């Protein structure tokens, strides 16, 4: 329980923000087959027919 009391709200918020930024960067940087519509790592929606 001592370990949980050392984690602040700001640290949790910062880590969530970093995760979201990394996800958005992956969507922009990686090809659609990996991070895009129908991608195996990050699926951003339905594949276009």
Domain range for 15: 2-43
How much is the pLDDT for 31? 93
Flag whether the pTM goes above 0.85: no
Confidence of residue 48 (pLDDT cuts 50, 70, 90): low
Any domain includes 27? yes
How much is the pLDDT for 47? 63
- Burial category of 23 from C-beta neighbours within 10 Å (exposed 0-12, middle 13-18, buried 19 and up): middle
- pLDDT tens digits for 8-47? 999 999 999 999 999 999 999 999 899 888 889 988 887 6
Any domain includes 48? no
Residues 6 or more apart in contact with residue 39 via CB below 8 angstroms: 30, 32, 33
How much is the pLDDT for 15? 97
Any domain includes 39? yes
Residues 6 or more apart in contact with residue 19 via CB below 8 angstroms: none
């Amino acid at each position: 329980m001592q370990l949980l009391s050392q984690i602040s709200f700001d640290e949790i918020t910062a880590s969530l923000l970093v995760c979201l930024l990394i996800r958005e960067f992956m969507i922009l940087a990686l090809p659609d087959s990996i991070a895009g519509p129908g991608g195996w790592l990050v699926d951003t929606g339905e594949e276009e027919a």
